[in-house]
Each structure stands twice: as C-alpha cells, then as structure tokens.
Structure 1
Amino acid sequence: MSKGPDSAKLHILASTVLSDVRIGDSIAVNGVCLTVTTFGEGVFTADVMAETLAKTNLRELRPGSKVNLERALRMGDRLGGHMVSGHVDGVGSIVGLERHDIATIVTLQAPEQVMRYIIKKGSVAIDGTSLTVVDFEQDKFQVSLIPHTAQATVLGSKKIGESVNLESDVLGKYIERLLQSREDKGTRQSKLSMEFLSANGFL
C-alpha cells in the first residue's frame, strides 16, 4: 500500500478475480467496494479515499496482509449468501474464539449502528464474507465458521483483538426506513408495521 497525505493506493496480488477484469470494475476488498484503476499479470491497483480509510480496517493493511476478494455479482447469478453492497457500516473487533466440534464460534464486538440490525439467524457481512448470526447481546454477536469458510477467508486466521469490517443486511435498513416513513407528508397512514411484517413472514 502506498499512502498519500489523506489517501492510499492498494497493490493487490490476485488470480481468480482478474480472469475477466476491466478498468473501472468493482472488486470488494475485505468487504469494501473498490474500483480497479490498473491491472497486470497477477496484480491490480485500487485507490482508497480518506473517508474509506477512516471508516474501515483497510488502513491497517501492511505489505503481505491477506485480504478477501470478491467480484461484483452479475444479474442472473446464483445468490449463495445474502445481498452485500460493499458499503461498510462499521468496524468491529474479535473478542472471542471457541472451537465446537468442526465449527469455530467467533464472538465480535460491534458498534450500535451495526447492532441495531443484528437478529438471530439474520445475515451479516464480516470482511465481505456473508455469515449467519448465531446469537447476540447488547454490543456483541456470534457467528459460526465451518472449516471451508475458515480456510477460504481471512476471518479464519484472525486472532482476538483484530478488527473486521461489518456490513449489516440491507433488508433491515429498508424496513427501518419504511417504518420511519409511516406517514406520507402527514396525510396518509402507511399499512406497514412490525405486526404486518411479522404476519407476512418478514420477521
């Protein structure tokens, strides 16, 4: 990573994500949507502005750091996890690691702007990896990693105290916004409510 006064340029070694890459394509790096500015044999570069450095863990990257990489979803592709936009909501930290049979239970501390959307069996992206919430408390939640996820993503090699990028499920954000807009210019009451969402299988 080469740094400017308030920005940075990432130089990332990669293979699979470069198979059909073009300048201007989006590639998520640890869950942060970045734009490919140059690429060559086995490497691409992406610019990171000051806001992104301030609000994500990309500022902690050093030469040799491993990162999760994901190309943008194509319309018509299978959606194996949940819809991830690459817009990080906050940075959390790993506060617990526990083996349970084949699984690794990871406990993460997260800021309020993430926790407000956390529900049991709901979805969350951790460094860009789509995972299911096992349980949660006021400022913490747990996910479970199968061996494949632990081996194929950076989360499996992280230690207690290390930071992670967190992105809440966008569905929760839309529901919250709609509930906040129950009155249309103060003249019409929306039918959307928590009771309606529950009765129709959304909660």
Structure 2
Amino acid sequence: MQGVTVVDHPLVQHKLTIMRKKETSTAGFRRLLREISLLLGYEVTRNLELTTTTIETPIEEMEAPTLEGKKLVFASVLRAGNGLLEGLLDLVPAARVAHIGLYRDHETLEAIEYFFKAPSDLADRLVIVVDPMLATANSAIAAIDKLKGRGATNIRFLCLLAAPEGIERFTKAHPDVPIFTASIDRQLNDKGYIMPGLGDAGDRMYGTK
C-alpha cells in the first residue's frame, strides 16, 4: 500500500506472534511491546537528516555525523501509546513528548478528546505519533488533526497493527502522513476491533478489562 511501510524484520514478527497469544501475561506483553518499539523505532527514524560536527576522539579530531537541527517529538495517544513511547525514549532519550488523551465511544466508535499537552515548537520538529492499533483510525485522525492545528507539518504515524479499513480512512484524511506498522491484519469486526489482532492493547498492557 502506498504510504505504508510494513516492518517485516524477523525479530519484529517473532515478538508480535508472542504478543498475539492470548496466554501471554501482562508483564510479558508489556516487555515485548517495549522491545518491539525499539525495532520499529529504527525504521521510523531511518531517514532523519544529518549534518556534521567537529569532535575529538582519543586519537584525533574528525568530522562526525549528528542529527540536524531540532530533533523529535513523540506524541503518545493515551493510554496504549505509552507502551510504544517507553521503548522509543530508550532509543532517543532527548526527544520531547506530547500526550494526547482520546477514548473511543463504544457506541459510535468516535474518538473523544480529554487531554492534550505538547511542546510549543511543533512546527520545527518531526512529530512521530504512536498508538499500537490503527483500527477505525478515528483516534489517529483526531490526534493528527490536533497536532496540525498546533503547527505540526512533518508527521509520521507508528503502530503495531493496522486494519485495511483504518489505513484507507487514515490516508484519505492525512495523505501526507506516512504509516509504519508491524502488520496489516485482515479486517475489523463489527465492534471495530482488528482481526485476528491481539485484543485491546491497553487492557493487555495494564491488566485491565
């Protein structure tokens, strides 16, 4: 699919299989989500712009590559996005963080906002939005609408699983935002859950129902 990168690294796929299993514990699910976010993070940051800086090694002076300009904002769609956020911050500790609180109305499946907090200079940074599941895409679309309204122009979306229906809606709403995912699953069920999926990522991560 155009605008969608599926990260098919063997370690990503292996860890995802374990996460899908219904018998995987809360602790195991949380650990695997953190591990897989590191691997996905390599892909979503692969083409960051570099410049050079002069440094001193123990041997000599050299021109060395470094990230150019202001760096990253990781925007977590609460609450499940925090599972991906932790691993990404291990990868890029200096990144700024935005939190976007959205919950899904189980009757209408629409996203309802209850919290938003982000750095003030979004226009100057690459914003990577993280949410494990791209199902109906309502939450992802609402989150990116909000970020664009606050000035963000360079945005990427990172998820663990995506449904074809969600990808279609997302790309119509935000054709300029590339999607990075570990898997495109078969479809949504009548409750808006990804099939075969892995269940509710937030519930499995926090041990709630």
Where is the strand percentage greater, Structure 1 or Structure 2?
Answer: 1
Establish whether TM, by shorter chain, passes 0.5.
no
Normalising by the residue count of structure 2, what TM-score does the alignment of the two structures yield? Answer: 0.24
Greater relative contact order (Cα < 8 A, sep 6+): 2
